[in-house]
Amino acid sequence: MSDETKERETGDVDEARRDLLKHMGIASMAGAVALTAGSADAEAAVFQEWFQSHYELMSEEEKQECIERLETRYTEEYGKKTTVSNAPALKDVLFGYALDIQKCIGCRTCVHACVKENNQTRYDPEIQWIKVLKMEKGNFSFSEEKLDKGYPETDRLGNFGIQVGGNAYSPVGVSGETERYYEPEKVPEKDSFYFPVQCQQCEKPPCVKACPVRATFREPNGVVVIDYNWCIGCRMCQLACPYEARRFNWGEPNLPPEDMNPKTHYYGNRPRMMGVMEKCTFCLQRTREGRAPACLEACPVGARKFGNLLDPESDVRKILATKKVFRFKEDLNTYPKFFYFMG
């Protein structure tokens, strides 16, 4: 007969054991309460976020509820009034970006402006969406000679040549050494040029194809976005992106409240969580309000241009019409909307 059965039958329970159990129970409850005290609302919000649907599939009411929940959580977590916009993509707009590679001095002001604007994690490590690469000039040539050469020429038999795609016989340059560019003493350095790389907002984005849950998709204005709450962190998109433009939150983000930008967008710069992907969105929280991306505003030499590709009078279209332009990894047919040009 077990002790428990005996106790039940006789009603003879060891007082000391009962007290011990009682105290242990009270202590455990107190411990559990202490652990969650002060963040009950935030915990509840996180719990609800885990079970929310894909944002695009939500009803308007659900979206509103989600936005309010996020605003409440961020406001509580960061101790400042935070807004989360869900402004839709602008109509009749297709964003394009152009960067003057001759003007860029590699100062990385754009990188820091981006980090500040987009609430990236600040340390261990600082996540940067723009990477400025320092490259040897190599045989880089800005000569216009032979610019239109490079195609098979028509001979007496007719034009049976194979289209080689671009001015293959006279590329603008072949880079030599490439290195990540951190703390230069002085910029620009001799015999180097600087090559900022960020999300190219491809028209045919391989990352979107690779996402198994459609957490990342291309919006009608041409910007590829991520639903951070729907992302499962599989990193397939990172593998698929030929530009290495996506960043993964390996750890819990470190964003000090005093550094947090409280003006956010659901698909843009709202604080992310561990285990999700993030990348440049052309600062959609700004561009949807008619403002320029933070990197462009910060550039001290005016190397960056941004505009609507549907408008022939926009900066980007004018650059495409008049300047020497090249794309990064154009051979992959991703149709990047980020163009490099030489002024």
Partner 1 sequence: MINEKDEKVDVSKRMLFKRAVAAVGVVATAGVAKTLTTAPTDSDKSKNRARYESEARQQERVMLQKRYVVMTDDEKKQMVNEILKNHYQELA
Could you give the CA distance from residue 339 to residue 315 in angstroms, rounded to a whole number? 12
Q: Which stretch binds partner 1 (CB under 8 A): 24-32, 55-63, 76-84, 207-215?
A: 24-32
Q: Which stretch binds partner 1 (CB under 8 A): 11-19, 73-81, 256-264, 291-299?
A: 11-19
Structure tokens, 285? 């929280």
| 40 touches partner 1 by CB under 8 A | no
| 209 touches partner 1 by CB under 8 A | no
Question: Which residues on adjacent β-strands are paired with residue 133?
Answer: 180, 195
| 214 touches partner 1 by CB under 8 A | no
Contact with partner 1 (CB under 8 A) among 69, 73, 108, 247: 247
Q: How many residues make contact with partner 1 (CB under 8 A)?
A: 67
Could you give the CA distance from residue 314 to residue 65 in angstroms, rounded to a whole number? 38
| 339: enclosing H helix or E strand | strand 338-342
Cis before 300 (ω within 30): no
Sign of CA dihedral 131, 134, 305, 295: positive
| 296: enclosing H helix or E strand | helix 294-298
Could you give the CA distance from residue 193 to residue 103 in angstroms, rounded to a whole number? 9
Contact with partner 1 (CB under 8 A) among 236, 238, 273, 275: 238
Nearest CA-CA partner of 326 in 339, 307, 316, 313: 339
x/- string (CB under 8 A) for partner 1, residues 307-326? --xx------x--xx--xxx
| 108 touches partner 1 by CB under 8 A | no
Q: Name which of 80 and 274 has its Cβ closer to partner 1.
A: 274
Residue 217 CB, shortest distance to partner 1, in Å, is: 12
Stated length of the chain: 343
Q: Which stretch binds partner 1 (CB under 8 A): 80-88, 107-115, 175-183, 281-289?
A: 175-183
Could you give the CA distance from residue 171 to residue 182 in angstroms, rounded to a whole number? 28
| 19 touches partner 1 by CB under 8 A | no
* Residue at token pair 């202490």: 34
List of residues contacting partner 1 (CB under 8 A): 4, 7-8, 11, 13, 18, 21-22, 24-25, 28-29, 31-32, 35, 94, 124-125, 127, 131, 133, 135, 140, 147-148, 165-168, 171-180, 195, 197, 203, 220, 222, 238, 242, 244, 247-248, 250-252, 309-310, 317, 320-321, 324-330, 335, 337, 340
